[in-house]
Structure 1
């Protein structure tokens, strides 16, 4: 019986080694392919802002003119400015934690703008840019990180589910939802529905993600698995988790995988539109690996200087997703200097509104924790609520900030 083959990093790189005996050169090539874009990287805008033609993907951005690019640029600038403001507010004690998206704006805005209103998105906890493209007010989102809300938006109306903190769990939720779309006959043509699920490179080591891959493939679920490979699963690099590029894992489950430049908003838009089209027509799931970089900490509790070099950060600054669109617009006459100044002013006002909202958010009353636990209340829940509030009323206001004074203030 022939030995199992070890998949080489890129198609056309020569014969594959057997699983037990990869050559040193093949191992090195495999590790390098997990930390560099590689030959299979789909890119439509270079870091210098030059347009790269693509026979396969140009049709999916044929409607993108200078105005559309200006809007995409505006989206990314506003999202980044809000992210930086929230990061600062956490440092000032206004938020319990913040999960930065700095550097991943193109992956999120490009893929988010590819979605149709009838589609559904399942995020992890870093998809602030996707939330913005789905019409979620970031002021509603901020309550999660101020620890006053689980989610402050109507997820059905926006087609954007609540954030998921448990790593990879949203993949199972998304797979089940997409299977439901298939069972209800909502796929098969251009008007079909599709689901997209976001997760990071670290989540690909979780069993939930692999279970989602299996079930999505078996049932031809209309689901785009969107992996934002930002190179670091907290403090562990991607090469510690995979011998080959993440997008190639799709082969083992029987559906297409593609690697896109996650810092190229135009490519992310095109590739996600293509993947969603595949799903809408009933062709089953697609895995997109958006090859990008987390420019900040994993969260505000993390210190990235302890595990990565500054040289790496400086290298990725040259691939900034916002600057390449700015360069393209400026070089081609798609925007005047006044436009960029206007967008920056708008972003500053956007951040100021977010800050004002955060600083003036009311303290929720203690009974809030019993609200919306179930679709309908129950005698047991009402009993627990009454007992808890009675317990709080037993404290004098000066003895406990959780006393009845807080509850009464929250009711007015």
Structure 2
């Protein structure tokens, strides 16, 4: 049932929804009106019955005082004939009937009592019985008329919702036809217009129609970054001398060396030039500052390459230099840091063109606190760069252990 309603035309859905809501609200109002009218009717009947009982008690009090029972009976009979009471009875203080008139017949009977007083003393009691069948029937007719009105209002809401739904369905159907592609299947008759519209929209090549404009600056692209530049000197000479398969194996080996070393110090590896790789270091790290991590990574790359050359026919000669940029490398959403970085890369490439035998550090890197406290440097004449000589004792020991781990991994026969 719910599935059929979900797939029904929109005008039927809107009409049923409007009719259901109208009927619910109307029924709630009918129930409230029925309860209120019943309560009001009951209060009025109680007031009327008590008033009638007191009126009869006052009328018969004189006859009771004189002991005229015949007059009492006549008065009770007269009240039965002239009022809405169907039965009236009078009892003395001991509960003995002194006079009765009428008969209590009917389904809805209400009884009301009033004391008969002679001066300040209670001499008896009047019992009045009223038949409320007509009042109950009137109340039922009132409730039924309200229910009929609620049904009529619901039918009117159904009709109005259906007409409005047809108008909206026509507009949605027009949009669906405009969005239909050439190979779109014909819609099934009697289907839901919005479901068809969703299918037509889903079939559109939205990626071709939507431009990307979510460019935004990211904080990680605007913090100081240490740059390790590796000029692959041997690779440049092997491009024209090795076949494709051998060249591919050689570049894979270079990649393994640099990638393994960068992994120890949180470096991000990129290809920056045709025969050059760049490893970027930024942000906090337990291993030390970004320049110190770049220097440690460079030492590992140099040491691993020297060890591997002893077991392979090809050379892994490379020049390494480290500098520092005020910005990061950027990304697809923010290209300014990447453009800013090009100056640093050009400078490092020029430094490596001199083919230094050891790792060179720029003046900005030399000023780093970790570099000054953990490394031994030697000045050079290449653009005020300094040459890395060695690390302090504990850091040198750590690098040696990392070197052995990398060699153990890379010397695995499965990787050779």
Per the TM superposition, whether the score is higher than 0.5 is: no
User: What TM-score, normalized to structure 1?
Assistant: 0.19
User: What TM-score, normalized to structure 2?
Assistant: 0.19
Larger radius of gyration: 2
Q: Decide which structure has greater helix share.
A: 2
Q: Decide which structure has greater strand share.
A: 2
